[in-house]
Structure 1
């Protein structure tokens, strides 16, 4: 991906493009002319000139990284020329417990993105120029001024005309062991060193002068992870090439939707059936335990069939025979209104039904007992107690009572 430097020239109202270390006011070309020579949808990485944004170092104790982006606009409200809503503020790390934040006008970024989109150029990153400087005390000659990096104190580009008041404000009560001065011409670096030593002698213990433009260090910094100003609503949208619609895509979409819906319904049906099966088995187990108390359940279906077919009882009166005769006698004698069958249990070992009943009187219970005996069954009133609604009793039917 190509990397270029971009600079907004306010007095001409145009964007200038050039190489990373170019002085764009002298060497830059207009963005539209540069874009005309690029293939459509070229992806580029742009380095925003330090003249087009501001850097702020802030002490924000008690604010964690998660809430930093929300807190920065309130902290910078008094430091910005325009309303804080008109700026994009991006946090960019910390140094010695101070937070660094870049502030750039929103309309400036919007203008840059719109002009690039107009010329079919896709901007993937927008990097602040001073991010490419080493994080150390440094003053580097750049164009008609100096790029200054004093971590935790100041970061930005200063024109020669404004250098003295900026240094007076920045270096007041500032002290550091060392700083470096880079300039292509040694005499420029020496001149700045002399100014620092005479005017701000207490700020730096040593000042190292190097005759270098620092271009290699700046280019090497592009390989590092850098802050991107295109965040939030400024993330560039990709321009997709129009392609003819594929005829089968709507059918595939319908088929996919049908498959998903069918799978969901099948899943729901299976779950409902499994739940119903679970409920039926629980009810069957409860019924079996009620009818045949004390029996161990091994194969519920087989055990039910054995009991319903008469089982292997030597008496010949299996469960089905006893329950059939009892229900027939109960219905024939018309005892439904005066005698209510509460529950039935079957003792397989004794070949005996135990019926819990509720009767309006003891006579009614005796009538049921006698009717069963007339049918050839052995019946006994095992217990009978009076209560406010009649008589509660237990009737044993079948085997020897």
Structure 2
């Protein structure tokens, strides 16, 4: 399960490069840990960095995404009216579009681009040195990976057509439905009543809705200021009491997309490691697959060499046998020996024994003479057909085995020999022996 840790530093803010242990350890944070469904699994108030890291270690949590919340007054809200649509041109024109809205040298300001609205792009501007300090404060935490930095007031839930206010001790965070955020002293809320009462556009609006968040003690403490807001006549104030600290409201709104904050980690401060974070979980499997692939390639190459050596040995053996049979043939090698042998066999078959009467009688007589006790084999009649090239012999023997031996002998000489019309008698067997050329 994926987790996201929202961390909000408490004033006074320690210098991130402090060398004194007292200063470095003095920085405290409020924090809340949300799971993938947005439920808070752990929280803490006024804890040191080491305490938060220890809590994660005790719960065996690794690579938790961290969202850092800066005081809203650290970043200025601007609007950039840029007609360009390509991102490259938008970033090129961005400094010139907001330069008049910023009261310092534009070169010393880090600009973060938000979403486009009807009035232009929403932009957050922060001093470069301060941005570097905040990035240093939220970097190099154990078990945590910095995901984003936001102005805290930018994470308030948006009130459609009006303002959202969160009472946070001596401070009040404000957010308009246009995305403009403010952080002011809570005692000065009444001074902003007229500003809040102005409609967000040129339309005539009778009332401007205002949603005020805070714990019960905050409402009691700011009762007088809230009464002035309600008495302005143009504001419809709705109070929503929180059971826990305001940080949980901000985390809830961010997780459920109830706001559109501007991530300050852009440009030179972009979190580069996020681009490859999607592959982090697959790295072990990729490593194993790579090793397996290399081993498989090695095995395939080794088997290829082995089979090639075996093929070379068989070719050498085949050539040795061929040269024993044809010692005068110097043109045949391993590449064409098969074709040469097949040609020689076809030539030998074409040049086989003649199939005339004399030849057939010759071979038949030779095989007759080789039969043991040939006197027991009698040729009753001999017929020869020139048209068919076939010799037909009516033969009788004292056993069928001698007829079969005669036929097999002729076949071994390359002739076609068959025995048909076999009749078994009491004193032997007789049949018709047909001999023709092979």
Q: TM-score, normalised by structure 1?
A: 0.48
* Structure label with greater radius of gyration: 2
